[in-house]
Amino acid sequence: MSATRATILVVDDEPHSLTSMRMALEDEFDIRTAGDAETALRVLDEDWVQVIFCDQRMPGRTGVEFLTEVRERWPETVRIVITGYTDAGAMVAAINEAGIYQFITKPWHPDQLLMAARNATRLFQLSRENDRMALEMRVLTATAESRVEKRRRALREGLGFETILRAPNSPMNAVVQAARQFASFDVPVLLIGEPGTGKAALARAMHYGSLRSDRPFHSFSLSGLPDDLAMIELFGAKRGILPGGSNKIGLVQKAERGTLYLGGIDSASPALQVALLRLLIEGAFSPAGGQEIIGSNLRLIAGSDRDLRALVAEGRFRADLYYALSVTELELPPLRGRPGDIALHAQAVLMDMASRHGKPVHGFEAAALEFLENYDWPGNLRELSNEVTRMLIFGQGPLLGAELISRAILQAPPGDSGADRSAEAAMTGAGSLKDRIELVEMRILRETLARHRWNKSRAAAEMGLSRVGLRAKLDRYGILQPGRTTADEDEED
């Protein structure tokens, strides 16, 4: 049986940690262990390893340094870092240099370690499968729509929940776990969350995790659409209704035996609500301008930016439609409620946009990530994507710095989970005028220094201070450049 099991290499300089991880994983995987980087490299030379769990703090070489070499020599091996620290600089280095798949923080739970191992081996298998299908595609004709091509397209579009980026302790983990449970049950699902929280992406993941995964998935938003146009787009139209005199096939027919994600369901008109209720209860609909009844077999997943229960209570949404839609109801947290996910999403957007536009940028400086993680992101993932794209356009080096961030974000009050709530309290709370002014001054100093890439001479000139005067204020408030220590600052001066 061991021949069919994935092999995992665990690297840690503490023997009891190696023993604990072996015990957590050995029932399902073949485990190799190493107490240092050099021993681990010898194991990799001898065995075919699919996944590596590596401690970050080790004597000699750090985990990131070791995994950077692994990335160069064995790029297909999935790399996971275990760390007791949440240093932003180390995380940036891990993402940029070592291509880390996941961070696991200490103390870890055996179930958490086992789940990470299962997901990592599945990722390895998908990558190998993708490579195999790429080879097969070379011998197929350019026009043939084979099953291999469909599977390859599914991989490219995102095979389910592995595409939902999230940190080890993200609130999204509970949402994804619940979505996995309901994915294989052919029932309607209602997704609730602010605009831009990723409802359509979760609906797509549920489709690819369901028995309908080999059938079409279509996504459509009702937000801002006139009622007649929404009806035609969903249910189609008979000849004579539209200019040109041709029929129109609606998304309900296009998604036959597949899944239709309908966003903005809270903005559906009364007439559209009746039509959707009929679709759910009777499995039937009628095209615009037609009298015939057409049967439908699709799975409907609906998304709402607002609480539908409140709209039902106000008489603005049909109660029977709400209960038909919400066999299960999943609420996606806003981005400000999951700060640990911001760096992962920002990096993913950057890699995608840099590749698309052919620009050699591969990461963020620590100061930039600090500002991004402390911002509330009222526009959620869409706003973050726009900001990263704008930074990429103006960036001139391989790493994007804080000076590229929009000034509105640099000057914005920090979020609830940000590091500097005291400055916001100064504007609305109590306290002496002197104390409240000092708190605001701290924020101005940090924002100005970030824009000037921590060039103290330029920042001091903009604020009308001498360099000595600026240094005195930084010492007074304990403001340090991210990734530097007080000793570093003293040596520079």
Per-residue confidence (pLDDT) for residue 289, from 0 to 100 = 78
Model confidence pLDDT, tens digit, residues 227-274: 989 999 999 888 767 776 667 889 999 999 999 999 999 999 999 999
Rg of the Cα atoms in the chain: 27
Percent of the chain with pLDDT over 90: 41
* Weakest-pLDDT range from 262-266, 361-365, 467-471: 467-471
**Which has more confidence, 243 or 161?**
161
What whole-number distance in Å separates Cα of residue 288 and Cα of residue 291? 8
Strands of the sheet containing 102-105, edge to edge, are 30-34, 7-11, 51-55, 78-83, 102-105
> CA 486 to CA 488: how far, in whole Å?
5
Q: What is the pLDDT of residues 59-72, one digit of tens each?
A: 888 888 898 889 88
pLDDT class of 277 with cuts at 50, 70, 90: very high
In terms of Cβ atoms closer than 10 Å to its own Cβ (0-12, 13-18, 19+), residue 394 is: exposed
Percent pLDDT > 70 in the chain is: 83
More confident residue, 135 or 198: 198
Highest-confidence range of 118-127, 149-158, 168-177, 318-327, by mean pLDDT?
Answer: 318-327
With 0-12 CB in 10 A as exposed, 13-18 as middle and 19+ as buried, what is 40? buried
> What domains lie within the chain, and their CATH numbers?
2-135 (3.40.50.2300), 161-331 (3.40.50.300), 337-492 (1.10.8.60)
Q: What is the pLDDT of residues 320-336, one digit of tens each?
A: 999 999 999 999 999 98
For residue 149, the surrounding DSSP H or E stretch is: helix 147-157
Residue 422 has pLDDT above 60, yes or no: no
User: Does 146 or 357 have the greater pLDDT score?
Assistant: 357
pLDDT in tens, 375-400: 889 999 999 999 999 999 998 888 99
Query: Is the confidence at residue 420, as pLDDT, over 50?
Result: no
Q: How confident is the model at residue 141 (pLDDT cuts 50, 70, 90)?
A: very low
DSSP H or E stretch at residue 11: strand 7-11
Q: What is the pLDDT averaged over residues 157-163?
A: 67
pTM over 0.75: no
Predicted confidence (pLDDT) at residue 126 exceeds the cutoff of 80: yes
- Please write the tens of the pLDDT for every residue from 192-226: 999 999 999 999 999 988 889 888 999 999 998 99
Task: For 101-123, give the DSSP string.
Answer: SEEEESSPPHHHHHHHHHHHHHH
Quote the CA–CA distance of 228 and 271 in Å, as a whole number: 10
Neighbouring C-beta atoms of residue 209, cutoff 10 Å: 18
Pairing of strands 363-364, 399-400: parallel
Greatest Cα pair distance in the chain: 83
Q: Is the pLDDT of residue 10 over 90?
A: yes
Predicted local confidence at residue 416, as pLDDT: 46
110 cis-preceded (ω within 30 degrees of 0): no
Neighbours of 103 (CB within 10 A): 22
Place 310 in a pLDDT band, splitting at 50, 70 and 90.
very high
**Residue 393 tokens, joined:** 């356009």
